[in-house]
Structure 1
Amino acid sequence: MDTGDFRAGDVLSVACPFTPARVERGVTWGRIAVRWPWWDIDSGSDFIHWNGVVALGVAGDERSEPEVRAELFRTDPPPERLTAGDVCRVGVPPTTVHVTAVDHHDPPLETGWLPRPRLTVSVLRRGLSYREFPDDSHLDGTGYCLHPGDGIPFTFDLLLRPYACLRPGDEVADAAGRAWRFDGPWDWTAFDGEPAGAGPEWPLVLLTRAGTPCTAEDARAVAASTASGSHQRTVRDWMSLTRASPTP
């Protein structure tokens, strides 16, 4: 998968090879601190002074705090067997996540480490919904933040992209005669001003592509991809993979 190609609603399998790291602090308050093996300290940062250490949430059971359960990185050996000074490996085993937000940064974010991120992809692990996270949490209410291209050797496999045939800003007509604007798989606006209800009825007819006339090829692709199935079926397939509620 192209590391620049992400959309809200995507269901991904994400992984990162396990890499040696040194433990700086054993488990404290549900976190273990390790010397991060992938980033360099950004000595040119004006207001963020990172010390090269990252605190990882320690995986617990389903009663753990949501932000701890959201952690993707794992240590080998497990955190409870590690103390300060130990050498371990840190990485991400193949994990199913869903994308809640995608943000591009120009200029790149000043984070305290190098390389400075140009992209933030917010994700949540299977079984977690964004609604579990308060807006003032370190996850900022949208998910666990990944920065593809920032030096961590993530791999991403796309498992499902709802409405892959559509682009944000597209306008469509549905089988019930309603016109809609598409801003994401769970972000539909009906032009008649009525509540979205169960969503658009398939098949769909592409009217405009992000405000401009659509091509015949694009219209055929949308018609073909929605010729069978339904919006409700798309939601069910997504929930089966994510075990979460759709992000509006």
Structure 2
Amino acid sequence: MFCASTNKSVDVIAGKLIPGTYLIENYKALIANQNLGLALWNSFRNATVLTVLCLLICSIAGYGFEIYHDKGKDVVFTILLTAMMIPFAAIMIPMFRMFSTLKMVNTMGAFMLPSIATPFMIMMFRQASRSFPHDIIEAARIDGLSEVGIFFRMFIPTMKSTYAAAIIITFMGAWNNYLWPKVILQNKDAITMPMLVSNLLSGYTVDYGMLMLGVFICTIPTAIIFFAFQKSFTEGITGAVK
């Protein structure tokens, strides 16, 4: 991908696999044809805010499902998991009509609400909460620590590996999301990196050198996030607690 981004389109089509000298020209063409800076900013802002909100809400939900006992919680959790079987394409049009009725088209809220609490994230935090020592919770309650304090001062620091895994999954999903932003964010100023890459394919002729440069730039943030949290990723998926 990087080698292709440094070559001309004809060289990419010909299958040239060594770095070329056309990187600057491809970058200038990308800047001239697309609003790269705005797309990067929109994607980074959307992915960051969505990741923070999703981790907070899903971790609270997963913690609550496991720590607090109620007769109906298993029924609610089963319904929640059943929602994972419904493809997004089946609910996309009803959601758009709902947000359109609420006059929320072209807003950050409409973009984030469908992904702000996912069944998979709630399930992952619930599984992680099963390894959280209940003795610590009881000791904290005896010492007078509130339930909110137990969550923020004890649960979150203990579950760093789970949060690291959730950051990777949520950020990559939000950054690479194309279909829903394309539908709900109809303003040109709301363009994201997946939309920008898609626009590079919409012309009569495709400049593959410029296209691969756009894909390469789009890949860098997710790669940085993954390598930054990779040590905790495996532990977080398995729910390990040190």
TM normalised by structure 1 equals 0.24
TM normalised by structure 2 equals 0.24
